Structures are given as C-alpha cells and as structure tokens.
C-alpha cells in the first residue's frame, strides 16, 4: 500500500515537473521573440523609420508584460529592464510627436474622403425623403396608392447608398463581399473593409490574407511586405518567419549580402547576419561552393 502511494506521488511529481519545464520553455521563447522585436525596432530607429520602431517596441512591451503577468518571478530584473527600455523608446518615438510636423497623412485624407462621401450621401437621401414626404402630403389615399411604386423606387435608391458602418462600402456591397455592414473592419486586422477591397486587394474577412503569420495591417504599415505574397523577397522563407523568428530582412533575399540567400543560410545553419559565419576569411557562399563546411574554420584538418 505504501509502495503504491509512493509511486503515485513520484508520477505526480514527474508530471508537474514536465509541465513546469514546458512552461519555462514557453516563457523563454516569448522573451526571445520580444528581444528580436526590440532588435528590429532599434534597426528601424537607426534607419529613421520612427513609426515602425515605435510599433515594434510596443509589440515587445506587450509580450514582456504578458510574461510578467504569467510568471512574475521569472528573471524579474531582466524583464523589468527590457520593459523600461521599451517604455523609454516608445516615449521618444511616439507617433503623435512624429506626425506633428508632417502634412495631412493618408489616414486623415481617407477620413476626409469618407466624411465628404457620407455628407454627399446624406444630402441625396435627405432630398429623396423630402420628395417622398411632399408626394404623400399632397396626395389623397388613392393618389398615394398610385404613387406607391414610385415611392418604393425612391426608397430603393436611398438604400443603395446606405453605408451603416461608414467604412466607404455600401451595405449592398458588403452583402456581396460577405463582410459585416455593422463593422468597418470585419476581420479586425486594423484595415477597414474599404481599404482592403479598394486599396490593397486583401481579404476583408481574413486578417492574414497570404497566411504568412503577419496581419495585413502589419504588412502594409510596418514591415512594408506584400500582404498578398507570403514570401515577399522570394528567398524561401515566409515574411512572418523572417520578421518574428529568423530576424532577417523580408525585403532582401540575402540579408548579409554574402551570396547565399536567407533560405539557404537557414539550411546550412549559417548566420544570415554575418557573411563569414566561422570567421576564417572565406564567405559562407565561397565555402559552400567549394564543398567546405561554412561552420568549420579549418575544414581541411578534418580530412
């Protein structure tokens, strides 16, 4: 009996240990992802892309905040330091301060366009409604019945211009597209249904049209990748993998310009940010072409 209890206790301990280990590994992966985003942000800041840098620091901060909430005792000082750095950088790079010295942005122009269109539609609908009222007020019941088909026609014309969510697509258009006429951004990716359909050609009902693990909004606003193509630079790696995991440039097939594209670097296990991974004087490309191991600085000694 005691032996059975001891075995059960041992099994329970092993299960708890494996769960704890997997959670610890998950936190490490999340923290690694946050540091990669901070690296992307630092590079964007160096290149003068302040808004992109701010967005990357914000994403990293959210991941770090999640780690602090889930595992408050995991590398407390390290996480706190990283969060503070993100916060400081975000204060400096705040989009509002960046945009203050610019002319009207595309977003503002789009808003003005929507307001103008809405005003035009409201004016037309108001005219149709007043026309209907005048006919009904001046007609007897018999005349009103005779005028009913015309009234329905006018009402139908007004419905054709109806845009309940104010996104620039009429309710009729939304019905045909399968989008929600009550939501300006049906798939919740940050782009309005109008922008997806008219401007970018992306799916308004799928947040990640090309299924590369980057939302359509992130691709057009931050990474500048093609939201309709999962591998923008054609190096064999998806844009999402390059941005979030491999930390390579999704717009350049050969990040370190060594002659091997980023996909080949992954296959060979070489560093896509260093043209000479083993620092032996020969580039990774030259070593691969010669049949040498690009990770071994003295391959001839192995012969």
pLDDT tens-digit profile, the chain (303 residues): 444 445 555 555 444 444 455 667 788 888 888 888 888 888 888 888 888 888 888 889 999 998 888 888 888 888 888 888 888 888 888 776 545 544 445 555 555 666 666 666 666 666 666 776 666 666 554 554 555 555 455 555 556 667 888 888 888 889 999 999 988 889 988 888 999 999 999 999 999 999 999 999 999 999 999 999 999 999 999 999 999 899 999 999 999 898 989 989 999 899 988 888 888 888 888 888 888 888 888 655 554
At a CB cut-off of 8 Å and minimum separation 6, what does 51 contact? 93, 95, 98, 99
Is residue 93 within 8 Å of 126, Cβ to Cβ?
Answer: no
Domain ranges of the chain: 15-99, 106-200, 216-302
Instruction: Give pLDDT, residue 32.
Output: 83
Tell me the per-residue pLDDT of 57-106, one tens digit each, with 9 for 90 and over: 888 999 999 888 888 888 888 888 888 888 888 888 877 654 554 444 55
CATH class of the region 15-99: mainly alpha
CA distance 36 to 34: 5
Tell me the per-residue pLDDT of 145-161, one tens digit each, with 9 for 90 and over: 555 555 455 555 556 66
Is residue 104 within 8 Å of 111, Cβ to Cβ?
Answer: no
């Amino acid at each position: 009996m005691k032996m059975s209890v001891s075995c059960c206790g041992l099994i329970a301990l092993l299960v708890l240990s494996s769960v704890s280990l997997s959670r610890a590994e998950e936190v490490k992966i999340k923290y690694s992802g946050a540091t990669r985003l901070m690296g992307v942000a630092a590079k964007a800041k160096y290149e003068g892309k302040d808004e992109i840098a701010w967005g990357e620091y914000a994403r990293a901060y959210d991941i770090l905040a999640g780690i602090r909430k889930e595992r408050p005792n995991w590398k407390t000082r390290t996480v706190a330091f990283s969060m503070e750095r993100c916060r400081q950088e975000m204060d400096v790079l705040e989009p509002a301060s960046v945009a203050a010295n610019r002319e009207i942005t595309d977003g503002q122009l789009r808003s003005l366009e929507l307001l103008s269109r809405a005003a035009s539609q409201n004016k037309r609908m108001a005219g149709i409604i007043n026309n209907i009222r005048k006919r009904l007020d001046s007609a007897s019941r018999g005349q009103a019945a005779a005028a009913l088909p015309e009234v329905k026609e006018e009402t139908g014309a007004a419905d054709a211009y109806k845009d309940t969510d104010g996104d620039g697509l009429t309710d009729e258009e939304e019905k045909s597209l399968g989008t929600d006429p009550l939501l300006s951004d049906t798939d919740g990716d940050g782009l309005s249904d109008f922008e997806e359909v008219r401007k970018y050609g992306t799916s308004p009902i799928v947040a990640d049209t090309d299924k590369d693990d980057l939302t359509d909004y992130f691709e057009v606003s931050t990474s500048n990748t093609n939201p309709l193509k999962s591998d923008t630079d054609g190096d064999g790696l998806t844009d999402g993998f390059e941005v979030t995991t491999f930390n390579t440039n999704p717009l350049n097939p050969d990040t370190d310009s060594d002659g091997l594209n980023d996909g080949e670097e992954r296959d060979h296990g070489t560093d896509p940010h260093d043209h000479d991974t083993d620092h032996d004087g020969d580039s990774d490309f030259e070593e691969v072409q010669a049949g040498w191991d690009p990770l071994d600085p003295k391959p001839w000694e192995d012969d």
